[in-house]
Amino acid sequence: MKVLFLIIISLFVIFFSCTEEIEIPKNNISIKNDFSIREGKRLFLYYCSPCHGENGNGSGKFFGYGLKPKPPDFTTEEFIKNRNDELLILAISGGSISVGKSNLCPPWGNTFHKEEIKFLVDFIKKIKRVPKKSEIK
């Protein structure tokens, strides 16, 4: 009876230790990219969406109305066509004035770590590639 009890207990232990194992997909690069986009999205929704809108199309609920010029529509081809990573990083770190625009987009270089600015860039690029609202929400 004792033996049976021990067997049952060890089966339980084996079962639970197996289910806790995390399966690591082979392509680590995509995990890193996924993380970056998710983090970028989190930061964007909190810090940027009041002006840029939750889906990045430039119609922020809080400040979007009074801004002239309005924040650009990140979901269009035109926006991303002429902007590479370096330009986006510069615009975010130093604000829109650092890329020769108005001073309406604040500089974020002192708020975020370089890595976080890269997360934001990765997310903004993702918005462009997947313009459907349902997919970036």
Cβ contact 69:104 at 8 Å? yes
Q: Tell me which DSSP letter residue 21 carries.
A: P
Comparison of 48 and 136: residue with beta carbon closer to ligand HEC: 48
Contacts with ligand HEC by CB under 6 A lie at 47-48, 50-52, 63, 67, 69, 71-72, 83, 87-88, 91-92, 96, 99, 101-102, 104-106, 108, 120
Residue whose tokens read 């690591």: 24
Neighbours of 73 (CB within 10 A): 18
Of 39 and 104, nearer to ligand HEC (C-beta) is: 104
Question: In the complex with ligand HEC, which residue's Cβ is closer, 30 or 111?
Answer: 111
Cβ atoms 102, 69 nearer than 8 A: yes
Minimum Å gap between C-beta 115 and ligand HEC is 14
The nearest distance, CB 32 to ligand HEC, in angstroms, is 20
Distance separating alpha carbons of residues 107 and 73, to the nearest angstrom: 19
Report the nearest approach of ligand HEC to the CB of residue 136 (Å): 14
